Amino acid sequence: MNNLDQVSGFRNSVFRLAAAAACLVAFSGTLTAIAATPQEIATTRDENFDEIGKNMKILLGAAKAGVVDDSTIAAAAKISELSKALPGWFVKGSGPTDPGVTKTRALAEVWTKPEDFAAKVKAFQEAVAALQPATATKDMAQFGPAIKATADACKGCHDTFKKPKDK
- Verify binding: residue 9, ligand HEC, rule CB under 6 A: no
Say how many residues touch ligand HEC, by CB under 6 A. 24
Task: Report phi then psi at 70, rounded to 5.
Answer: -65, -30
- Verify binding: residue 104, ligand HEC, rule CB under 6 A: yes
Residue nearer to ligand HEC on the CB measure, 11 or 54: 54
Taking Cα atoms as reference points, which of 86, 82, 78 lies closest to residue 135? 78
Site string for ligand HEC, 60-99 (x = CB under 6 A): -------------------x--------------------
- Verify binding: residue 162, ligand HEC, rule CB under 6 A: yes
d(CA 65, CA 55): 15
Q: Buried b vs exposed e over 48-86: b needs ≥16 C-beta within 10 Å?
A: ebeebeebbebbeebbeeeebeeebbebbbbbbebbeeb
Binding region for ligand HEC (CB under 6 A):
42, 45-46, 49-50, 52-53, 56, 79, 104-106, 110, 120-121, 124, 150, 153-154, 157-158, 161-162, 165
